[in-house]
Amino acid sequence: MDLYIDRTELIRGLARVQGVVERRTTNLALAHVMLSAQGDTLSMTATDTMLTLVAGYKARVQSEGELSVDAQSFFQIARALPEPTVHLQSIAGNRLQVRCGNAQFQVVGMGAESFPPQPASTEKSSLSIDGSTLRRIIEETSFSVCTDDNRYGINGAHMEEVKTADGSRLRVVTTDGSRLSYSETPFLGEFGMGRRMLLPRKALSEIRKLIDNDKGTWHVVFGDRSATLKTDDLTLMIRLVDGEFPDYRRVLPDNSQRRVTVSREHFTNALKRVAIVASDRNHSVRFAFESDRMVLSARNVDLGEAREEVPIELSGAPMVTGFNVKYFQDILSATKSDQMILRLGDALDPCIIEMPDRDDSLFVVMPMRLD
Amino acid sequence: MDLYIDRTELIRGLARVQGVVERRTTNLALAHVMLSAQGDTLSMTATDTMLTLVAGYKARVQSEGELSVDAQSFFQIARALPEPTVHLQSIAGNRLQVRCGNAQFQVVGMGAESFPPQPASTEKSSLSIDGSTLRRIIEETSFSVCTDDNRYGINGAHMEEVKTADGSRLRVVTTDGSRLSYSETPFLGEFGMGRRMLLPRKALSEIRKLIDNDKGTWHVVFGDRSATLKTDDLTLMIRLVDGEFPDYRRVLPDNSQRRVTVSREHFTNALKRVAIVASDRNHSVRFAFESDRMVLSARNVDLGEAREEVPIELSGAPMVTGFNVKYFQDILSATKSDQMILRLGDALDPCIIEMPDRDDSLFVVMPMRLD
């Protein structure tokens, strides 16, 4: 391998793969980035066996070849290089020679044969989705995905195609047992993810990070047990998690008894303050819905008490119940509308949170018994 | 206690004392801030028994009094308050009632009697020093203070008065046994710190933080075993550490054999790169001084090798030696001059680092034996 590449392109590629690289691993290859020079491209590949990311950028390749080096150290070196052009060469003993201005490194590496092979890519169907829409969907669902990997069936995001009057929508649904979120969008192409497959949690956060830098159109290709997301420069291959997502439609309550309209700003600021005191394990806050206001209160033996009044419009009878304040904070920071609607049944019924100006997302939060 | 205070003033005072507050302590009082309303001032006091900081700000006091509350939680509450004016009241059970707009807190507190008493202030002499000068002196010395509290005599900063042709200077000296720094300034007033007293390390970092927000003149008052730093709003009382600083003048080498002039920018950038590879415990880097360049090189079994060339002017014979690269990085990030001078003896002699445009600071770094 012998090539010249722009330092900015090298840094960009190495930055992208850092999220996939496993730092604490006994398998050295998972901490490495594989450099592969072919044609006029340097591909940088990292994998944790579940996710595999390939970032490919233009390079002047003198001699093709492959070599893997420690991803974190090489990224550190790349960012510190003095000149705009970097010369990379594989030298004896699987070493990578890096030359740039007066700086010279010989980085310990491994041959390509030690790096895990790329997963076979099957292609059953594919669809396209705009980067900013993909980001919204992930932001509105990723916070409520179950973090316990042993919870079969909910330890990942469920994806499905939903038929509406206007045509098909792609819907992503997540739950951790105490709350549920879904978010959807129209799409171009054909949805093809298996019914008993989930998108792993780490994939959601990786996609979210990659979108920030590649805002264009994303192509999603569905394979047998995989999904692959592609932009011009990036290919993220995701091994799907096996698991049957619960029939969440049966648990969606049909709340029509009480309807609360509240300003996002007032609600957010009041929650921020009661949350300081509601710092026990359950973050429990008392919600008293009155005709024109909602009184939030929390209590903590060590810290004291907090009380907030938030103006609301309530249709239905007054009621008192309790919620985990963090669940509402997560929803408010994942959404943007000026007003929020809470639909409530009785004190121990779940609460539905919606936005009056949107029909493409919905949140459910389970209540807490107040002591 | 019953008072109204601007939220910004309350937040400012609580922010200042956070650095002194002990978060992990079995003595609850050290995690508290004492609020004391008197005249037209709310004083906020925190202490770790070594340092005591009092921040006083204008308040509309309806009724004088004192109460202490958890400093971190109260700071969090203050920052989240909705309106510009805050009403603080002590209520039954040593609680602090906080009212601000629709927000209301009752914070668990302790009576003033549980808070450590303020140290008695004796005043032997005092001097004045400009905030930006005080900051420079601390930045140029604090990085080399010994971090081992058991190293009697060097576990703090030494201060002394130095007579020069132009008059007296205040000099601060620190060492950790492998390097030494001093920095000095002319001053107004009378120096009066005891010969066997050191300024504790935490005091240096606290003063450094406080200066960022109070750039005016600082008054330093010397007591028997204490030093007190004052601005209009702040009073920092420091209990001095007992310990006789070594006679550092005897270890300052009189290097005149070799003199190296190097650009700060070139040197800094080259060090940043070799430091990536010089990541063993000693951060050891080989320095080869040649007639017109300095070749830096480092080696690491896991990572590989790095090599840098930096243009220099050398007077004296070429030489090879080794240094801890971090020691040079610390000096370069604490100083500003465009050029640095290294004065060297033989390979195992310490290196003196100076700036050609300044005579008020000096750094000494011990060499390392190269394997």
Nearest CA among B362, B274, B258, B262 for reference residue B317? B258
The arithmetic mean of pLDDT across residues B156-164, rounded, is 95
Nearest CA among A53, A101, A73, A245 for reference residue A160? A245
Domain finish residue from A231, A250, A269: A250
What is the pLDDT at residue B281?
80
Rounded to a whole number, what is the largest CA-CA distance in chain B?
79
B308 touches chain A (CB under 8 A): yes
The distance of B95 to chain A (nearest Cα, Å) reads 8
The distance of B69 to chain A (nearest Cα, Å) reads 9
Nearest CA among A307, A160, A234 for reference residue B98? A307
Regarding whether B229 and B136 lie in a shared domain, the answer is yes
Cβ contacts of B269 on chain A, cutoff 8 Å = 80, 82
B303 touches chain A (CB under 8 A): yes
In sequence order, the 6+-apart residues with CB closer than 8 A to the CB of B296 are B270, B271, B274, B285, B286, B287, B288, B306, B307, B308, B309, B310, B325
> Residue B273 in contact with residue B325, Cβ under 8 Å?
no
The distance of B279 to chain A (nearest Cα, Å) reads 11
Tens of pLDDT, residue by residue over A242-300, are 999 999 998 888 877 999 999 999 999 999 999 999 987 889 999 999 999 999 999 99
Q: pLDDT-derived band of residue B31, with 50, 70 and 90 as boundaries?
A: very high
Regarding whether B205 and B137 lie in a shared domain, the answer is yes
Cβ contacts of B310 on chain A, cutoff 8 Å = 102
3-class DSSP string for chain A: CEEEEEHHHHHHHHHHHHCCCCCCCCCHHHHEEEEEEECCEEEEEEECCCEEEEEEEECEEEECEEEEEEHHHHHHHHHHCCCCEEEEEEECCCEEEEEECCEEEEEEEECHHHCCCCCCCCCCEEEEEEHHHHHHHHHHHHHHCCCCCCCCCCCEEEEEEEEECCEEEEEEEEECCCEEEEEEEECEECCCCCCCEEEEHHHHHHHHHHHHHCCCEEEEEECCCEEEEECCCEEEEEECEECCCCCHHHHCCCCCCEEEEEEHHHHHHHHHHHHHHCCCCCCEEEEEECCCEEEEEEEECCCEEEEEEEEEEEECCCEEEEEEHHHHHHHHHHCCCCEEEEEECCCCCCEEEECCCCCCEEEEECCECCC
CB–CB contact A103 B303 (8 Å) = no
What is the pLDDT at residue B279?
80
Cβ contacts of B107 on chain A, cutoff 8 Å = 303-304
The distance of B349 to chain A (nearest Cα, Å) reads 28
Report yes or no on A133 lying in a domain: yes
Domain finish residue from A250, A267, A292: A250
Q: Which of B82, B107, B276 sits opposite A76 (nearest CB)?
A: B276
Report yes or no on B202 lying in a domain: yes
Q: Report H helices in B142-182.
A: none
Least confident of A194-198, B157-161, B197-201, B337-341: A194-198
B77 touches chain A (CB under 8 A): yes
CB–CB contact A303 B108 (8 Å) = yes
Query: How many Å apart are CA A311 and CA A332, to the nearest integer?
Result: 17
Only one residue has tokens 């792993």, namely A200
Regarding whether B151 and B49 lie in a shared domain, the answer is no
Regarding whether B205 and B131 lie in a shared domain, the answer is yes
A7 touches chain B (CB under 8 A): no
User: Any idea what the CATH number is for the domain that residue B243 is in?
Assistant: 3.10.150.10
- Give the structural domain span for B177: 125-250
What is the pLDDT at residue B118?
83
Report yes or no on B39 lying in a domain: yes
Report yes or no on B370 lying in a domain: no
CB–CB contact B70 A302 (8 Å) = yes
A177 touches chain B (CB under 8 A): no
Query: How many Å apart are CA B130 and CA B112, to the nearest integer?
Result: 35
Q: Are strands A304-315 and A258-263 parallel, antiparallel or unpaired?
A: antiparallel
Query: Is the ipTM here above 0.90?
Result: no
* Element spanning B119, H or E: none
Closest residue in chain B to residue A109, using alpha carbons only: B303
CB–CB contact B308 A70 (8 Å) = no
| Mean pLDDT estimate for chain B | 94
Only one residue has tokens 């996002």, namely A264
B370 touches chain A (CB under 8 A): no
Angle at which helices B71-80 and B7-18 pack, to 10 degrees? 150
The distance of B227 to chain A (nearest Cα, Å) reads 35
Closest residue in chain B to residue A296, using alpha carbons only: B103
Closest residue in chain A to residue B76, using alpha carbons only: A276
Domain finish residue from A114, A143, A161: A114
Closest residue in chain B to residue A271, using alpha carbons only: B80
What is the pLDDT at residue A166?
84
B23 touches chain A (CB under 8 A): no
Sign of CA dihedral B269, B274, B280, B282: negative
What tokens appear for B33 in the block?
Answer: 């801030």
Q: pLDDT-derived band of residue B190, with 50, 70 and 90 as boundaries?
A: very high
The arithmetic mean of pLDDT across residues B189-208, rounded, is 93
Report yes or no on B276 lying in a domain: yes
CB–CB contact A105 B306 (8 Å) = yes
Q: How far is CA B320 from the centre of its chain?
A: 34
Q: DSSP for B235-288, please give it.
A: EEEEEPEE-----GGGGS----SEEEEEEHHHHHHHHHHHHHH--STT-EEEEE
In this structure, how many other beta carbons lie within 10 angstroms of the beta carbon of residue B65?
A: 17
A70 touches chain B (CB under 8 A): yes
> Residue A10 in contact with residue A57, Cβ under 8 Å?
yes
Q: Show which of residues 270-299 on chain B sit within 8 Å of chain A, judged by CB atoms.
A: 270, 272-273, 276-277
Cβ contacts of A96 on chain B, cutoff 8 Å = 304
For B368, which DSSP code?
B
Query: How many Å apart are CA B213 and CA A370, to the nearest integer?
Result: 45
> Residue B367 in contact with residue B348, Cβ under 8 Å?
yes
Q: Which of B80, B106, B107 sits opposite A273 (nearest CB)?
A: B80
Report yes or no on A370 lying in a domain: no
Regarding whether B269 and B236 lie in a shared domain, the answer is no
The distance of A317 to chain B (nearest Cα, Å) reads 23
Regarding whether A307 and A360 lie in a shared domain, the answer is yes
Cβ contacts of A107 on chain B, cutoff 8 Å = 303-304
Q: Which of B276, B304, B307 sits opposite A108 (nearest CB)?
A: B304
Report CA-CA distances (Å) from A145 to A247, B95, B166, B335.
Answer: 15, 40, 70, 49
Cβ contacts of B101 on chain A, cutoff 8 Å = none
Tens of pLDDT, residue by residue over B301-329, are 889 999 999 999 999 999 999 999 999 99
B104 touches chain A (CB under 8 A): yes
Regarding whether A329 and A223 lie in a shared domain, the answer is no
> Residue B215 in contact with residue B136, Cβ under 8 Å?
no
Query: How many Å apart are CA A18 and CA A21, to the nearest integer?
Result: 5
Nearest CA among A237, A234, A236 for reference residue A224? A237
The distance of A38 to chain B (nearest Cα, Å) reads 25
Report CA-CA distances (Å) from A162 to A156, A166, A167, A183.
Answer: 19, 11, 8, 11
What tokens appear for A37 in the block?
Answer: 């020079």
Report yes or no on B119 lying in a domain: no
Cβ contacts of A301 on chain B, cutoff 8 Å = 108
Regarding whether B292 and B239 lie in a shared domain, the answer is no
The distance of A257 to chain B (nearest Cα, Å) reads 28
Only one residue has tokens 């969606």, namely A252
Query: How many Å apart are CA A263 and CA A341, to the nearest integer?
Result: 9
Query: Residue B128: helix, strand or coil by DSSP?
Result: strand
The distance of B93 to chain A (nearest Cα, Å) reads 11
CB–CB contact B105 A81 (8 Å) = no
Regarding whether B84 and B60 lie in a shared domain, the answer is yes
Closest residue in chain A to residue B96, using alpha carbons only: A304
Closest residue in chain A to residue B308, using alpha carbons only: A103
Regarding whether A182 and A246 lie in a shared domain, the answer is yes
What is the pLDDT at residue A254?
83
Query: How many Å apart are CA B207 and CA B172, to the nearest integer?
Result: 14
What is the pLDDT at residue A149?
85
Regarding whether B282 and B262 lie in a shared domain, the answer is yes
A105 touches chain B (CB under 8 A): yes
- Is the pLDDT at B255 greater than 80, yes or no? no
Tens of pLDDT, residue by residue over B3-15, are 999 999 999 999 9
Only one residue has tokens 């309106």, namely B83
Overall domain count for chain A: 3
In sequence order, the 6+-apart residues with CB closer than 8 A to the CB of A87 are A3, A4, A97, A98, A99, A100
Report yes or no on B371 lying in a domain: no
Regarding whether B322 and B217 lie in a shared domain, the answer is no
B86 touches chain A (CB under 8 A): no
Bridge partner residues of B157 (DSSP): B199
For B114, which DSSP code?
G
Q: What predicted TM-score, i.e. pTM, was given to this entire model?
A: 0.91
> Residue A134 in contact with residue A211, Cβ under 8 Å?
yes
CB–CB contact A273 B103 (8 Å) = yes
pLDDT truncated to tens, each residue of chain A (371 aa)? 999 999 999 999 999 999 999 888 888 889 999 999 999 999 999 999 999 999 999 999 999 999 999 999 999 999 999 999 999 999 999 999 999 999 999 999 999 898 988 877 788 899 999 999 999 999 999 999 999 888 989 999 999 999 988 889 999 999 999 999 999 999 999 999 988 999 999 999 999 999 988 778 999 999 989 999 999 999 999 999 999 999 999 888 887 799 999 999 999 999 999 999 998 788 999 999 999 999 999 999 889 999 999 999 999 999 999 999 999 999 999 999 999 999 999 999 999 999 999 999 999 999 998 87
Q: How far is CA B366 from the centre of its chain?
A: 23
For B317, which DSSP code?
-
What is the pLDDT at residue B121?
74
Q: Which of B77, B82, B303 sits opposite A107 (nearest CB)?
A: B303
A9 touches chain B (CB under 8 A): no
Tens of pLDDT, residue by residue over B74-127, are 999 999 999 999 999 999 999 999 999 999 999 999 998 889 888 777 888 999
Report the percentage of chain B scoring pLDDT > 70: 100
Tens of pLDDT, residue by residue over B320-369, are 999 999 999 999 999 999 999 999 999 999 999 999 999 999 999 999 98
What is the pLDDT at residue A224?
87
The arithmetic mean of pLDDT across residues B65-79, rounded, is 96
